[in-house]
């Protein structure tokens, strides 16, 4: 049988995973999706399938496995099932995690078990099946409240503000440790530290669908603009920033998806260029635009991009918020040949179009 290779996308039914799956197929990769659907719906998998098949003669298969990353036997079975079909998983992009900062404070053990436990199982199974390339979804939350902005990848990990942030720091350390102690098979990994992903696919076939009332700025802002939720509260206007509201680095999820393609290509190249005795390689990359934007500026940019007013009130600070953080993103540019190309307005327009379509 002619063995083909594919990339396993854990959390592939989620927000960033679904956009990345589409970008991978567009770049010529075969993808296999795994998700336990705890924070997503099968409709996202259908959205991915529609997008990758739009305008193509032959149909592109996108296998989906409803499996929990902590289920060792279940994850191994995904690799075995694909082998039986003549497909070898040669790289993994690990998105699957719980990500609600507030919930993580209430249920820290759930976050440790799900996020760190799931990563441990995945590393074991990757070793069993001799998979050498791992892209890990990390976050700028690993930097805590940085002393200097923009932050680069050498900035120290500061005590995390939440159990969620702690799981990202621990998973990064776990992967690094695993790489150091496992040269045969090698583990080459890219630790991608996302800043604030926003927006949706321009087709509006996939986007961000948080369950319940959104905690994050842009999903809340869109519901507020649609009039289906109480006005947006700007959390704090007395911070030491130009307009008093917090500053973040918002990047379009389509740019972020393309960064994953660049990262997996980088790892494959690393694998090919080193011989059997070459040692494992781990590299962290900041993924952001390199520009900081305040909450009030996001509201103004949304109104400009869509012509829709955003009902909002000025409120108190939210506990645990970092004041200002944005990326020093030159490492991704020089080593992955990736940089964000889409504007804030484009991202907000796409988020709004998704909101209108999904209501």
The residues that touch ligand NAD, with contacts defined as CB under 6 A, are 11, 13-17, 35-40, 68-70, 95-99, 114, 118, 137, 139, 194, 196-197
Instruction: Identify the CA nearest to 21 among candidates 38, 44, 4.
Output: 44
Output 99 or 260, the one with its CB closest to ligand UFG.
99
Q: What is the dihedral of CA 232, 346, 27, 278, to 10 degrees?
A: -70
Say how many residues touch ligand UFG, by CB under 6 A. 21
Q: 292: which DSSP letter?
A: -
SS3 label, residue 66: strand
Output 118 or 150, the one with its CB closest to ligand NAD.
118
Q: 54: which DSSP letter?
A: T
Is-catalytic flag, 164? Answer: yes
Q: Which of 164, 220, 239, 250 is catalytic?
A: 164
Output 186 or 254, the one with its CB closest to ligand NAD.
254
Nearest approach in angstroms of CB 105 to ligand UFG is 12
Nearest approach in angstroms of CB 139 to ligand NAD is 3
Give Cβ neighbours of residue 190 (< 8 Å, ≥ 6 apart).
134, 135, 136, 263, 264, 266, 267, 282, 283, 284, 285
Single out the residue of 195, 326, 352, 354 in contact with ligand UFG (rule: CB under 6 A).
195
Binding mask 281-310 for ligand UFG (x = CB under 6 A): --------------x---------------
CA distance 188 to 355: 38
DSSP secondary structure, 91-125, as one string = EEEE------HHHHHH-HHHHIIIIIIHHHHHHHH
The binder of 20, among ligand UFG, ligand NAD, none, by C-beta within 5 to 8 A per type, is none
What is the footprint of ligand UFG within residues 135-194 (CB under 6 A)?
139-141, 194
């Amino acid at each position: 049988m002619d063995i083909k290779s594919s990339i396993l996308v854990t959390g592939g039914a989620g927000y960033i995973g679904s956009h990345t799956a589409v970008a991978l197929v567009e770049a010529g990769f075969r993808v296999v999706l795994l998700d336990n659907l705890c924070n997503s719906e099968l409709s996202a998998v259908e959205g991915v399938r529609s997008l990758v098949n739009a305008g193509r003669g032959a149909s592109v298969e996108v296998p989906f496995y409803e499996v929990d990353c902590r289920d060792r036997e279940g994850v191994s079975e995904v690799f075995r099932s694909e082998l039986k079909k003549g497909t070898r998983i040669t790289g993994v992009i690990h998105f699957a995690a719980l990500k609600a900062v507030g919930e993580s404070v209430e249920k820290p053990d759930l976050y440790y078990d799900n996020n760190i436990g799931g990563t441990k199982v995945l590393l074991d199974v990757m070793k069993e099946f001799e998979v050498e390339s791992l892209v890990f979804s990390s976050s700028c939350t690993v930097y805590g409240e940085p002393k200097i902005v923009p932050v680069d990848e050498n900035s120290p990990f500061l005590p995390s503000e939440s159990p969620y942030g702690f799981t990202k720091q621990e998973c990064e350390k776990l992967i690094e440790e695993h790489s150091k102690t496992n040269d045969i098979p090698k583990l080459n990994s890219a630790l991608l530290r996302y800043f604030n992903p926003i927006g949706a696919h321009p087709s509006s076939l996939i986007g961000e669908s948080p369950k319940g009332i959104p905690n994050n700025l842009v999903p809340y802002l869109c519901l507020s603009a649609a009039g289906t939720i109480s006005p947006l509260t700007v959390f704090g206007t007395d911070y030491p920033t130009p307009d008093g509201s917090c500053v973040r680095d918002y990047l379009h999820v389509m740019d972020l998806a393309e960064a994953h393609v660049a990262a997996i290509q980088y790892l494959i190249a690393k694998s090919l260029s080193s011989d059997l005795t070459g040692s494992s390689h781990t590299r962290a990359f900041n993924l952001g635009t390199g520009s900081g934007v305040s909450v009030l500026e996001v509201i103004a940019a949304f109104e400009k991009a869509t012509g829709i007013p955003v009902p909002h009130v000025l409120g108190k600070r939210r506990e645990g918020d970092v004041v200002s953080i944005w990326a020093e993103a030159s490492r991704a540019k020089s080593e992955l040949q990736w940089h964000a190309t889409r504007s804030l307005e484009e991202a907000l327009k796409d988020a709004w179009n998704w909101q209108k379509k999904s209501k």
